[in-house]
Structure 1
Amino acid sequence: MRIIKSVAFGDWLLFTRSQPLPDFVNDQTHTDDGLMEEAGDGAECLREAKSRIRDILFSFPDGLRMSCLEDHYQMSCNERLPYLSLGFSSVETFVLHLTGDVLQVKYTGEGLKLYPIVPKQPDRPMGQVLYPADAVGPSLSFERVKLPEVPAGKYNLEIFVAEVYHPHKFWFHLVGEEYAEALEKLMDQMEVTYCTALGFKYRMPEATVQVGQVCACPYGEQGYHRAVITDVRPAPEPVKVFYVDYGSVGTVPRSFLRFLPLDFFRLPAQALLGRLANILPAAAEGWTREASKTFLSLVDQNRILYAMVLDRSPSCVSLCLCDTNGSTDLHVNDQLVELGHAVFRNQSMDAAEPAVEEVSRPVPLGPDSSPAAAVQRRPPSPAPLAELWSGHTTPSEIDRLLQETLGAPAASGM
């Protein structure tokens, strides 16, 4: 598929690859085919971008809106999506170029959404059983935990932060019996399974080590966690994985990979992606390491926080956070402004921002600070300053144009 404009600020026009272009298109425009794929530096840049985009999409099993891709690429890779340097005039045309081997595009009730393409598995030799009967096979993927529908403008959601990159990229857990407490019980069961001789039953043969495969693997010295393989290099190189319950990314030796029993697969992936609402980095170059460390210090030690949902998209939640564990309430968004790390700004989750310096660090889970044992806390005091700078997410221009052309889509669960 090719997507072009008849004039610089005109409507988008979509053509199949085999469809001849009208004369007015040939005369006034050029196609967005990407001109640097075969060049040396351009080819390496394209391969790196494809790998990074694939990693990002595997962290969103429910799909990522196309309008959010550029923002998430910047947050995850600490640089802007390089579509211009690769010969494309827009993110949309670059995305369409990747539909053959990296991603697929689906039009849903939430607009255009992107899903990773899982490489085709090699043919299994006849009679060879590679997957245990009670384990997750190659065609399954995790369901993401759903954020409850809560009234806007109130601190009515209890969470704790699991992984911090910077104030506009952190992963959090919901507090409750069906969320954090259920995950804690699951982790205990996984420890019993994988730290005994029973775990050898689930060792993964080399033929099953494939991108997209659900697995279990250690995270440092913290035992086995649920994960998805996101990148595989030639053996014996370690593989890259995404830990679905914490938002962490890591590399793991092949010998440490284990199949995940179906009983451990039923609980939805617990990590939800969040960002602090209505603030921007005070520094022109973006979030500094000091800002990220300060944010980490405000939310670590497994402390339970009250959250106010100000904006949400299928991939990210924009929050105001309040810590009521002390004698006075501490509004996290406001605190970053008061300390000089951020400024207030009316900003939607699709807005561009400067590149950032990330502090990729999981929040430590203390042995005596289980969320299941949380004490009763006061509701937070009202009206933090960040709450007053409310913003709204807007669809991308291509979403709007396609909806006008194709009509409003039917309701979809995708």
Structure 2
Amino acid sequence: MAPTTVAAIAPAAASPGGMQPPGMYPAYLQLASMTPPAVVPPAILPDGNTFCVCLSVVFNPSDFYGQIVEKANPTVKVLEDLQQNLNKFGSQSEAPVEEMVTKGSFWICRFQGDKNWYRAQVLDVLPGPTCQRFRVLYVDYGNRSTVLCSFLRPLPPELASLPACAHRMSLAYVGPKQGNKWDESAIGVFVKETGFNISLIAEKKGHRRAGFEDITEVVLWNRNGPTAVNINVVLVEQDVAVLKSAE
């Protein structure tokens, strides 16, 4: 799954999700209803006040995701091995019926961008005139999509044990210049300063909960050059963000 600045959108031409797919026999439904749903543990931050991170998805400076970069936590290798198994199970298993898919549940979900299968959590169930759609979060990267049931597959327990690899973050102390919405110029500066292929230092400054996710408020530093760069400050200096007033 390539790093991105936008959420993936499921194609409108995907097959209806409410119908029982070929090969999905009643025995499968009975087995699925008896099997406890798999649960992916939440992402775990390292101890201490700082951690190394490489951004994977950016929506705006208040809503972005990254993966931990640590010698003791080889995320890339772990995800490569996991990916092989997810693609295998995703291509060999059948889609569930809509009634089995509930808010908060975990599945293997196809990503429209690269056609691979990833671990995902259902954030919301959206009713429709002919079938339901499901808002999902790809828990190891941070992409979000709205998909049909035909994009989902059961997540085997052995592939659910690894904690989610994507950490949701928000820049501390800074906010949009006007209102609550970041403009494109601010997002552009943020992406330019952070990139998707460099290791950044995230300094923990706060924590909050939104829906099913924990959000860590951070100050981001780029220390790859001769001088450390405080990315939060850069946004203010380039006049695309303002300092938040003390609450």
TM-score between both structures, scaled by the size of structure 2: 0.73
Match of 1:228 among 83, 98, 121: 121
| Structure 2 counterpart of 1:112 | none
Q: Where do residues 364-403 of structure 1 align in structure 2 (5 Å cutoff)?
A: none
Aligned length: 213
**1:159-195 residue CA offsets vs partner (Å, 9 max, x unmatched):** 011221221221222123536232343123323443x
Provide the C-alpha distance between the structure 2 equivalents of 1:325 and 1:343, rounded to a whole number of angstroms: 25
1:138 positional shift? 5.5
**1:125-155 residue CA offsets vs partner (Å, 9 max, x unmatched):** xx8442667x9945443321222220x4xxx
> Do structure 1's residue 183 and structure 2's residue 79 form an aligned pair?
yes
> Do structure 1's residue 143 and structure 2's residue 143 form an aligned pair?
no
> Do structure 1's residue 209 and structure 2's residue 101 form an aligned pair?
yes
Unaligned runs of 5+ in 2: 1-25
| Structure 1 counterpart of 2:202 | 307
Taking only the aligned residue pairs, the percentage that are identical comes to: 26
Provide the C-alpha distance between the structure 2 equivalents of 1:201 and 1:285, rounded to a whole number of angstroms: 43
- Relative distance call for 1:192 and 1:298 in structure 2 (3 A) is farther
**1:245-299 residue CA offsets vs partner (Å, 9 max, x unmatched):** 2233212232221111111100112222211122232335642221122212222
The DSSP-based 3-state class of the residue aligned with 1:302 is coil
Supply the AA of the counterpart residue of 1:335: V
Provide the C-alpha distance between the structure 1 equivalents of 2:118 and 2:185, rounded to a whole number of angstroms: 30
The DSSP-based 3-state class of the residue aligned with 1:316 is strand
| Structure 2 counterpart of 1:170 | 64
Higher relative contact order (CA 8 A, sep 6+): 2
Match of 1:265 among 150, 160, 164: 160
> Do structure 1's residue 280 and structure 2's residue 179 form an aligned pair?
no
- Relative distance call for 1:238 and 1:332 in structure 2 (3 A) is same
**Bigger mean CA offset, 257-266 vs 184-193:** 184-193
- Relative distance call for 1:319 and 1:211 in structure 2 (3 A) is closer
Q: Cα RMSD (Å) of the superposition?
A: 2.9
Unaligned runs of 5+ in 1: 1-126, 352-414
Match of 2:136 among 215, 223, 241: 241
8 Å CA contact 1:164–1:170 kept in 2: the answer is yes
Q: Where do residues 64-103 of structure 1 align in structure 2 (5 Å cutoff)?
A: none
8 Å CA contact 1:137–1:213 kept in 2: the answer is no
More strand by share: 2
- Relative distance call for 1:136 and 1:307 in structure 2 (3 A) is farther
**1:213-237 residue CA offsets vs partner (Å, 9 max, x unmatched):** 3211122223111112331435445
